[in-house]
């Protein structure tokens, strides 16, 4: 509204990219200036009185408590009005953010340690949030494990995701671009890396993106890689470079024996992958007894998707034959 409308990132704030942003910022600055004004007034008066009524030879202050009705009335009345205005302005902004308009673009959000999953009408899933410029967007959010919180600084919106409950929020993006999305509720080891990107796109670009995402890659390895690194967020905890991360690495494993926490060994094959994805606690690997950190993917991975992941793990193991993409009409020629 006043001061800042539609300026790029400043010392104080990130870029303004939603209709809420100018509102929130102007209110913030109003509070800042009010506080600064009274700080200077009160501290200034204090310093002045300290000096004016200091102890010095020949000076005697009054011994009676002084009283001034008018002064007391005004210094109560004015701050009271300001406090009421702050409350009203805050409540107004809060209600605006809480009242979800009709006709929104609806996106489902699932948070789990430590990845975001966004699901669009039509079933497209992604680890990035794509939203349409100047279109009211509603997020319906849930958590699979612990408390998380979704925060998009450029939109000035933030809302908790609570296990066992749905929460909702809305916003209207006003500027095409790519913005940051953070988790702002401490949720474990990799909380600080639980971030994602928000793409604000024109309707055309958004439709084109959805159309592209609708069709999974025909090559199983490519598809598996996409599921692993992007759509399902596995790469948040599992590496394919042999490095130790939160979960066991999944490269160079296919067909080999892996040691379990129980002291037994098990062959890393499709049954083991499938079981571990659907019931992560069943057979934790040695050194990764904290498998309880991983939520079950039961109902969240189709059988074909597990096949694609298996193809990807095979491709990451030297000397293992990888299934080929079924030859399409074009490649046959
Ligand atoms: Cu999720 Cu912090």
What atom of ligand 1 comes closest to residue 187's alpha carbon?
2
Question: Which comes out higher in pLDDT, residue 192 or 328?
Answer: 192
Average pLDDT over residues 103-112: 93
Contacts of 142 (CB under 8 A, 6+ apart): 108, 109, 110, 111, 161, 162, 163, 165, 166, 167
Residue closest via CA to ligand 1's atom 1 equals: 148
Which residues are registered as beta bridge partners of 112?
Answer: 115
Average pLDDT over residues 71-84: 94
Q: Ligand 1 centroid to 88 CA: how many Å?
A: 32
Q: Considering only 100-114, 264-278, 283-297, which range has the smallest mean pLDDT?
A: 283-297
Q: Ligand 1 centroid to 280 CA: how many Å?
A: 20
Q: Is the pLDDT reported for residue 168 higher than 90?
A: yes
What residues are in contact with ligand 1 under a 6 Å CB criterion? 111, 114, 148, 183, 185-187, 191, 194
- Judge whether 309 and 277 are in contact, CB under 8 Å: yes
For residue 166, CA distances in Å to 212, 292, 333 come to 29, 23, 51
- Long-range contacts of 322-327, Cβ-Cβ distance < 8 Å, separation of 24 or more: 322/220, 322/221, 323/220, 323/221, 324/219, 325/218, 325/219, 325/220, 325/222, 326/218
What atom of ligand 1 comes closest to residue 161's alpha carbon?
1
Question: Which comes out higher in pLDDT, residue 67 or 79?
Answer: 79
Q: Ligand 1 centroid to 46 CA: how many Å?
A: 45
What atom of ligand 1 comes closest to residue 147's alpha carbon?
1
What atom of ligand 1 comes closest to residue 113's alpha carbon?
1
Question: Which comes out higher in pLDDT, residue 321 or 200?
Answer: 200
Contacts of 222 (CB under 8 A, 6+ apart): 325
What pLDDT, on a 0 to 100 scale, did the predictor assign at position 109? 96
Compute the distance between CA of residue 224 and CA of residue 227 in angstroms, rounded to an integer: 5
Average pLDDT value for the chain:
86
pTM above 0.85, yes or no: no
Q: What percent of the chain has pLDDT over 70?
A: 92
Sorting pLDDT into bands at 50, 70 and 90, what band is 313? Answer: confident
| Total number of residues shown for the chain | 333
Q: Ligand 1 centroid to 195 CA: how many Å?
A: 8
Q: Ligand 1 centroid to 59 CA: how many Å?
A: 63
What atom of ligand 1 comes closest to residue 114's alpha carbon?
1
Sorting pLDDT into bands at 50, 70 and 90, what band is 325? Answer: low
Question: Which comes out higher in pLDDT, residue 79 or 240?
Answer: 79
What pLDDT, on a 0 to 100 scale, did the predictor assign at position 185? 94
* Residues 93-132: b if buried by 16+ CB within 10 A, e if exposed: eeeebeeeeeebbebbbbbbbbbbbbbbeeebbbbebbbb
Output phi, psi for 295, to 5 deg. Answer: -75, 155
Torsion of the alpha carbons at 38, 39, 45 and 49, rounded to the nearest 10: 150
Q: Ligand 1 centroid to 147 CA: how many Å?
A: 7
Compute the distance between CA of residue 29 and CA of residue 12 in angstroms, rounded to an integer: 10
What pLDDT, on a 0 to 100 scale, did the predictor assign at position 292? 62
What pLDDT, on a 0 to 100 scale, did the predictor assign at position 8? 66
Q: Checking DSSP bridges between strand 167-171 and strand 177-183, what pairing results, if any?
A: unpaired
For residue 110, CA distances in Å to 37, 119, 148, 306 come to 44, 8, 10, 20
What atom of ligand 1 comes closest to residue 191's alpha carbon?
2
**Torsion sign, CA atoms 317, 314, 189, 117:** positive
What pLDDT, on a 0 to 100 scale, did the predictor assign at position 6? 52
Q: What percent of the chain has pLDDT over 90?
A: 48
Q: Ligand 1 centroid to 315 CA: how many Å?
A: 31
């Amino acid at each position: 509204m006043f001061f800042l409308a539609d300026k790029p990132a400043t010392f104080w704030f990130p870029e303004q990219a939603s209709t809420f942003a100018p509102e929130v910022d102007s209110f913030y600055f109003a509070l800042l200036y009010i506080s600064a004004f009274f700080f200077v007034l009160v501290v200034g008066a204090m310093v002045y009185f300290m000096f004016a009524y200091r102890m010095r030879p020949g000076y005697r202050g009054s011994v009676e408590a002084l009283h001034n009705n008018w002064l007391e009335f005004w210094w109560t009345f004015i701050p009271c009005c300001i406090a009421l205005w702050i409350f009203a302005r805050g409540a107004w902004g809060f209600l605006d953010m809480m009242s979800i308009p009709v006709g929104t673009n609806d996106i489902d959000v699932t948070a789990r340690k430590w990845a975001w999953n966004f699901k669009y009408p039509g079933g497209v899933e992604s680890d990035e949030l794509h939203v349409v410029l100047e279109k009211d967007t509603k997020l319906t959010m849930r958590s699979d494990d612990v408390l998380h919180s979704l925060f998009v600084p450029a939109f000035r919106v933030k809302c908790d995701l609570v296990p066992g409950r749905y929460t909702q929020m809305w916003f209207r993006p006003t500027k095409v671009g790519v913005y940051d999305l953070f988790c702002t509720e401490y949720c474990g080891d990799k909380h600080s890396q639980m971030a994602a990107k928000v793409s604000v796109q024109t309707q055309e670009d958004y439709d084109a993106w959805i159309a592209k995402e609708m069709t999974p890659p025909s090559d199983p390895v490519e598809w598996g890689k996409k599921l692993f690194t992007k759509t399902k967020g596995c790469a948040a905890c599992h590496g394919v470079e042999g490095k130790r991360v939160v979960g066991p690495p999944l490269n160079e494993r296919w067909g080999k024996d892996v040691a379990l926490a129980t002291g037994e060994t098990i062959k890393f094959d499709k049954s083991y992958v499938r079981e571990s994805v659907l019931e992560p606690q069943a057979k934790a690997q040695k050194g990764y007894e904290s498998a309880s950190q991983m939520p079950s993917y039961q109902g969240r991975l189709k059988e074909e998707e597990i096949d694609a992941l298996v193809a990807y793990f095979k491709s990451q193991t030297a000397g293992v034959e990888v299934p080929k993409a079924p030859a399409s009409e074009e490649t046959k020629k």
